[in-house]
Amino acid sequence: MSTHALYGELVFPTHNGRQGFRIRRFNEVRIENSWQSLTDTAEITTPKNAKDFDRFKISEWFREGDPVEVWLGYDGELELEFSGYITKVSAGIPLVINCEDEMYKLKRNVVSVSKQDCGLKELLEAIAPGYKVVCDNTHLVGNVRYSKKAASEILEDLKQKGIYSWFEGKELHAFNKSKSDIDPVDVKLEETAGESLKQKAIEDTMVIISLIRKKGKKLNVEYGDQGAGKRLRKELSGMNITEVEMRKEAEKMYKDAKQPGLDGDVTLFGIPRVQHGMKINLTSMHYPEKDGMYYIDTVTKTFSRESAEYRQACKMGDQAV
């Protein structure tokens, strides 16, 4: 890989009477994003005695709820890798700033919702007003009722039903998995910063899907290997789905669980840029058994000036077919 100069900027836009400013001298940033965890986070480490802050108190520069953007890259070419809000600022040295993405606001947005036979999009638009909602046409039947709940708690409840939610910028996405249409990234394992990939163990598996119907009756559908130690459970409540469709979903979950694949991480340099939901096309000269196209479930990005490193640790997800 040719040599590139690390470059990054922290942008703190004007907010609530405090002027906007940028920081180019910082020690480290760690960003974690995953479609499975609801909230993306960033941890910024910067010297407390930096010259930029001599004129003001730290508490006046960095306040909980203030917006923040993290731009990272090489040779002056930057990508927006994180946008969100400050959640906590340490009092010690070095200065550590913890941040969360747009989910920060939904955790503080208390709502009450009562709807009969509504669509998923209708529910999400009710609990997250002002955001663009991207989801499928899943229909929720029966009485969907939440009283004085944080919007994020409702999203956690949907997660238990197999509907995962995450933000991409100002868009709220909700699906059973993150799968992006962005072109796959070609990766040669011998040219990465490191990898801990191994063949995924294929276990006997039983899938159990439960549905609570309108009148409170519970329907269970099972599909898989009898006596299996590994059991995958999915509970549906108020969804407009037939028993045949439940069995098809159980069969799909079973086939996904039995799909050959890889466990572990592959760590890339800062380019090419990746995010969860994208596909990686892996090839290897020495380990051809690791070749294949895989979705990314989680990306942990670390940018360090002290060690002059920019890394993207990618946790592999399903094999793309």
Quick: pLDDT tens for 58-100. 778 899 999 999 999 999 899 999 999 999 998 777 889 999 9
Taking a C-beta distance cutoff of 8 angstroms, is the pair 96, 44 a contact? yes
Q: Is the pTM of this model over 0.75?
A: yes
Mean pLDDT over residues 214-224, rounded? 80
Quick: pLDDT tens for 160-194. 888 999 999 999 999 988 999 899 999 999 999 99
Mean pLDDT over residues 271-284, rounded? 94
Tell me, what's the pLDDT at 1? 45
> Which DSSP helix (H) or strand (E) runs through 152?
helix 151-160
Q: Write down the CATH number for the domain with range 106-175.
A: 3.55.50.30
| Nearest one of 278, 223, 268, 285 to 249, comparing CA atoms | 223
Report helix, strand or coil for 211. Answer: strand
What is the pLDDT confidence band of residue 56, given thresholds at 50, 70 and 90? low
Q: Write down the CATH number for the domain with range 185-200+261-319.
A: 2.30.300.10
Q: Of 64 and 218, which is predicted with more confidence?
A: 64
Helix axes 151-160, 120-127, angle to 10 degrees: 150
What is the pLDDT confidence band of residue 210, given thresholds at 50, 70 and 90? confident
| 146 HSE (CA, 13 A, CB side) | 20
Region of 97 please: left (phi>0), alpha (psi -120 to 50) or beta.
beta
Tell which CATH architecture fits domain 6-101: Beta Barrel (2.40)
